[in-house]
Structure 1
């Protein structure tokens, strides 16, 4: 079906890019490698009215539509129209009210740098380059999750363009069901163009990289300490063969390590006391923990870094020494150029929010695990490795974080939502997108 490019150029104030235009290749590019999509047209909107015009044209002509949120956007693949929200990157900080409006294409790093100038923060993920719209609508699990909850727990309002082309202002009192759905249901219900966040006072944190030898005992001990730590502590541990890094002695290159980022929301004696048990698990190979502004804990990937990997995600109830021994053995067996297992211990403020308050319903899960196998060539062997390890580490009910679904999205989307949540999301999808216009995502079909 022909794409209505001429109509787009007439009705859109922002950029309308076709193959061969300056900026087209940059606009179609996504974070993950191995995705070489060529949409017929890319629209970089100037505002929500532009987004609404694109949505109406796509719906009216039956043209496939996808949305690139401004960051990683692994599901924005289309041969039709791609909306690239990275052009929407403004923000307004209200220091007196401790709130901020941010455009959905703004990155977590840019937003956090802007609010941190005032000693204020909102928790997002662990990477500066993710777009706010994508990470927020899925949940948002990062370095303040135990202290302040998920990103969606600080979402106060949003501007959403729905499938009928309406620009809707939503919050707990206005369009409450849509507001519930976009807090965990992903991009299924419309294009989120602006969001209002609650801000928390946090002038500085104590945190940074801590590299330890990876043994069954150190891994299990890390999980135990992260679970028992004060809620000010959130930690992410990556277990993998250590690559050559300037801050790691050469004799450790290629050996299994825990490369963790541990963050205490605050400074001083209480912070040092809370972080000491992690340092005492083993003699640190590298210890870069210290007092710093919160934006400095985010990782920053080079703009030209586009990894190719098989990834899997799961929630589990425990990782003990036997589980740790198993994952170390599986990492050693992998033929991947970089096999890795990431462990995030949850709980705290995230767990105190009722499970039905938002579409993210995994509030009671203690641990989230990400499995990755970076590779070149065929994915088959690495897919089997990742799937087998996912099954082996599963304890408790199956579960997956919708923001970390990959090529298993279609088969595992149901694991992202309990039955009651799934049914409610499908009803919301029926009400706001009955024709499933927004389907280039981890899709929830309308009831």
Structure 2
């Protein structure tokens, strides 16, 4: 259905059914509501429903069924291919679901699906507690959780899904279910890593972890092949209290970085040590010894300091292309390939990011959740941003070629970082029996594939 059909929709009836806002192209605030985190996409949904509870979601889905409108679910809006919206369709916008209840004694929290990771982390920080998410505070809680959640507490406390205790979800047929290990355990399994394939999550119950003893921050080192390989090797061998996300990239013009370093290749490492600070300092000193730091902000500080308030994105927002893969190691030869690519690749900002895994991530059996790559030592992401649409083809070729060069024969992908790879990419994220089990769940909970604007697993 296209935007020209909007006048025939019975929007008065929809507005009577929901307590949240219903926006069309004629309404104030529509353009702000449809804006995504990345540029290069200019979708114009027929209707945006800013839901305020699960009943609003039910009403929005019922309206979509009655009218034949395609359904998209919007949270943080960070999908690089725009899965949080639909041209001419209906967007269920959950960003208004911002309720947050924290029980510091039991160390659990109920959070609305529209809470961002930064808001959640700041809210629980006064209790000395945290749940591990990614490394960016603007990401929507539901999106990163349903994908798995590979973040700065991963080696100590596992993925975000390993801290997910329960969820409230609205299914395609309008049922509102509270799922956990005992209630609808099959659906609970699928929500933990299955992306947005199985329903609209409106609330999540998450376990909180003690992070009162924490050491972390940014460590920026000059990027040479020995330094890059050394950072990855040390992070792999370190105690599980250490998690490192290392980005090899041209030095960005951040105010705390010296101007003479801007544009030069660096390793921008986000370091997180969740444990005894004295031992943490000894381990981090090993990273520091790999090269003379360009900047060293690693210090005892609250975990929440790693999720600062982010400025509003530029307008127009830059476009991004990325590829994700799993690896066993990064040696100096591989690091040299990365540095050659950083130097020669088109795009104003390009990066090869290494997320070191293991530890608590690998403690969980591979079939316990829909995230199946528990034995992967590390995840690599090759990405580039650009502002001129005319550059997209060259950037696409460069990013894809580099990702292919870095593959070691280990299959797999992380669903949250997939772009436009299509069905093959989704199958890589969900190998073997994981795919079969998700497809069977899809047949049970969404047989008509209403929720297909995602890295889609069709019904079996």
Superposition TM-score, scaled by structure 2 size: 0.95
Counterpart position of 1:277: 286
Counterpart position of 2:83: 75
Q: Distance in 1 between matches of 2:255 and 2:35?
A: 30
1:79-94 matches, cutoff 5 A: 79-94=88-103
Shift, 1:120, TM fit: 1.1
For the 8 Å contact 1:160–1:169, the answer to whether it is kept is yes
Shift, 1:36, TM fit: 1.1
Q: Distance in 2 between matches of 1:81 and 1:386?
A: 32
Deviations 1:300-324 (A, max 9, x none): 5422333212111111111111100
Counterpart position of 1:418: 431
Counterpart position of 1:41: 47
> Larger deviation: 243-252 or 336-345?
243-252
Shift, 1:409, TM fit: 4.1
Counterpart position of 1:133: 142
Shift, 1:53, TM fit: 1.0
Shift, 1:325, TM fit: 0.4
Counterpart position of 1:308: 319
Specify the SS of the correspondent of 1:186.
coil
For the 8 Å contact 1:126–1:299, the answer to whether it is kept is no
Shift, 1:245, TM fit: 2.8
1:392 and 2:405 equivalent?
yes
Shift, 1:299, TM fit: 5.3
1:5 and 2:17 equivalent?
no
Specify the SS of the correspondent of 1:87.
coil
Specify the SS of the correspondent of 2:389.
coil
For the 8 Å contact 2:168–2:179, the answer to whether it is kept is yes
Superposition TM-score, scaled by structure 1 size: 0.97
Specify the SS of the correspondent of 2:313.
coil
Shift, 1:407, TM fit: 2.3
Specify the SS of the correspondent of 1:385.
helix
1:377 to 389, 392, 395: 389
Q: What residue ranges of structure 2 are gaps of 5+ in the alignment?
A: none
Specify the SS of the correspondent of 2:127.
coil
Counterpart position of 1:437: 450
Counterpart position of 2:274: 265
Counterpart position of 1:66: 72
Shift, 1:411, TM fit: 4.1
> Larger deviation: 405-414 or 218-227?
405-414
1:26 and 2:38 equivalent?
no
Q: What residue ranges of structure 1 are gaps of 5+ in the alignment?
A: none
Specify the SS of the correspondent of 2:380.
strand
1:250-261 matches, cutoff 5 A: 250-261=259-270
Deviations 1:175-213 (A, max 9, x none): 111100010000010000001001111125211111111
Specify the SS of the correspondent of 2:412.
coil
1:330 and 2:341 equivalent?
yes
Q: Distance in 2 between matches of 1:324 and 1:384?
A: 20
Q: Distance in 1 between matches of 2:120 and 2:33?
A: 21
Question: Aligned pair count?
Answer: 447
Q: Distance in 1 between matches of 2:396 and 2:305?
A: 34
